[in-house]
Amino acid sequence: MAPVIYTPDTVHAPDSAAVMKREDEGELKAQLAQLRQEHRDLDTAIEALHNSPGADLLQVQRLKKRKLQLRDQIIQVEDQLTPDIIA
């Protein structure tokens, strides 16, 4: 059996899968922040419409539906960021 020779490059080289995972994680966190911001903005818009006289109820319903869709997307991204734990 031939001896294994370790060079500084092989010992300290970052695993390409780990680097890719960190990049993906960064993208997911940025997407999550954007989704949360849009969710908060919709909250503000819905409240403003409710408080305005003669509010368009159809528009309020559409905004609420969009807000629920965003919430589902937020949950999906959070699930992707949460590591799977094998029990």
Mind listing the pLDDT tens digit for each residue in 14-60?
555 555 577 789 999 999 999 999 999 999 999 999 888 888 889 99
pLDDT for the residue numbered 83 = 79
Which residue is it, tokens 């940025």?
30
Q: Tell me which long-range contacts 62-70 makes (C-beta under 8 A, separation of at least 24).
A: 66/42, 67/39, 67/42, 67/43, 70/35, 70/38, 70/39, 70/42
pLDDT for the residue numbered 15 = 57
